Structure 1
């Protein structure tokens, strides 16, 4: 498995059919030890990812682990986390904001019912979606809601991504009723029959380990597979020339070094390829998600944020890589390298309200 220092889980990944959630005391548990063990030791065949979150309010450490359907290994997670209170879930329904920004906080919302009833779990989730659909001004900081049902039929988990903790607090305060919205539908959520308890906690990402999605890495999947090139014809022509000549034509494009990046579409699962200007930081490759300064992130960036496993071609060198968004500190250090190559990046950032991301590609071992 591959350690991703700043990668959020791909909640919708197609090869994950089960989720195991475990909690531990962060004061008694080493995040580094958990991630090192998950990366280095042989893991159960059904394990897809381990993502660790630390509570903003207390010392709770939560592991969100993804598994192939019906292959969740409770004993493995209990031993890994030193915890015995595990709950197994299935993802039931998701809602994701268009052109969503990068998350800065996840809110785990849990609701318990007075007995096992899978149909009731689903009806409660549908009631929440009806309430959200009735919002005339949705909370600006809300990014997504991924609703999971426990396999025992007694609990619902909403894995909700937000821009930051403050945005979630402000949404609750605006509603004045302990919900993230104020439409009439929220009263039906609060008065839903059979609910015996509920609550939420805010968490920050502290680390993750993920396996290559089923079917092989994006890089290996490119060979012999249908890959869609950029819808912009001039970019598609650049890509075709690059591929046909092993980069002899196209690696230097109007004087700028370029590489080919293949990502997996976050909605379709199809392979998408484009050409991008790149920089170097030692063995790492650097990209800028400028989108010419537009308000929205480029599609390739949204894809790799969902699935960080990518394929890269630099000249005739083809390899798999893991992609991640540079931290604020890294961006401050590395940004001048990219503007030295393409000075317009500074202009794009100045004209955009969006924090243009700098992406780091690290060759997979």
Structure 2
């Protein structure tokens, strides 16, 4: 029931503002539970750890994901803000990253998707979080990047 309510409310501006404010708390909970609890377990979420493009330090962000075969798919919606989230710039500079899902850590390599593949993955993401089209509209024409995080060997 709470998940359904969150999915409905996700389109509203106040929800996006509140969500942005809760991200630091979500990072803390994710860290304390070693990635077993992300987004309070309400939506499928992972902890993405990238390398800061300027600092060189690890940067972790809780993100909604969908599965696509053996990969995880994430979107740089940034709650509909007019700028890309920092993690998008970090992945662009260095596509090697780590995802923590359900407490298990996986090395991944990010690949930005476009064209028909992006359309297919975008549909999967919207099915999981119906607010994404509203975020894209609020982003004011900025491209909403979609990444496929593929396991590294």
TM-score, normalization: structure 1? 0.35
> 5 Å matches for 1:200-219?
none
Bigger share in helix: 2
The 5 Å alignment of 1:25-36 reads: none
Task: Tell me the equivalent position of 1:360.
Answer: 148
Post-superposition CA distance 1:309-363 (Å, at most 9, x none)? 0011001110110011112221111111101111110111123201201111001
2:137 maps to which residue?
350
Matched ranges for 1:115-126 at <5 A = none
Residue 323 (str. 1) matches residue 110 (str. 2): yes
Greater relative CO, 1 or 2 (CA 8 Å, sep 6+): 2
The 3-state SS of whatever aligns with 2:110 is strand
Contact 2:36 2:101 survives alignment (8 Å): no
Tell me the alpha carbon deviations over residues 90-139 of structure 1, each in whole angstroms, 9 at most, x when there is no partner. xxxxxxxxxxxxxxxxxxxxxxxxxxxxxxxxxxxxxxxxxxxxxxxxxx
Contact 2:66 2:124 in 1 (8 A): yes
In 2, the alpha carbon distance for the partners of 1:329 and 1:292 equals: 24
Aligned-residue Cα RMSD (Å) equals 1.7
Question: Relative to structure 1, is the Cα distance of residues 254 and 314 closer, same or farther in structure 2, using a 3 angstrom cutoff?
Answer: closer
How many Å separate the matches in 1 of 2:35 and 2:23?
14
In structure 2, how many angstroms separate the alpha carbons of the residues matched to 1:259 and 1:333? 21
In the other structure, the counterpart of 1:144 is: none
Cα pair 2:91 2:97 within 8 Å, conserved: yes
Structure 2 distance, partners of 1:307, 1:278, is: 20
User: 2:100 maps to which residue?
Assistant: 313
For residues 362 and 239 of structure 1, what CA distance do their matches in structure 2 show? 22
Q: Residue 29 of structure 2 aligns with which residue?
A: 241
Aligned residues: 133
Are residues 266 and 248 of structure 1, via their aligned partners in 2, closer, same or farther at CA, if it must alter by over 3 Å?
Answer: closer
Shift of 1:282: 1.0
Structure 1, gaps ≥5 residues long: 1-231
Shift of 1:296: 1.1
Structure 1 residue 256: Cα displacement: 0.9
CA 1:319/1:300 → structure 2, altered by over 3 Å: closer, same or farther?
Answer: same
Q: Give the drift of 1:254.
A: 5.9
Runs of 5+ unmatched residues, structure 2:
1-19
The Cα shift of 1:298 comes to 0.6
Match of 2:69 in 1: 282
In structure 1, C-alpha distance between the alignment counterparts of 2:115 and 2:50, rounded to whole Å = 24
Q: Which has the larger radius of gyration?
A: 1
How far did residue 234 of structure 1 move? 2.6
Q: Deviation digits for residues 14-38 of structure 1, max 9, x if unmatched?
A: xxxxxxxxxxxxxxxxxxxxxxxxx
- Structure 2 CA distance, aligned partners of 1:254 and 1:245? 12
Segment drifting more, 346-355 vs 232-241: 232-241
Partner of 1:297: 84
Determine which of 48, 52, 60 is the counterpart of 1:265. Answer: 52
TM-score (norm 2): 0.80
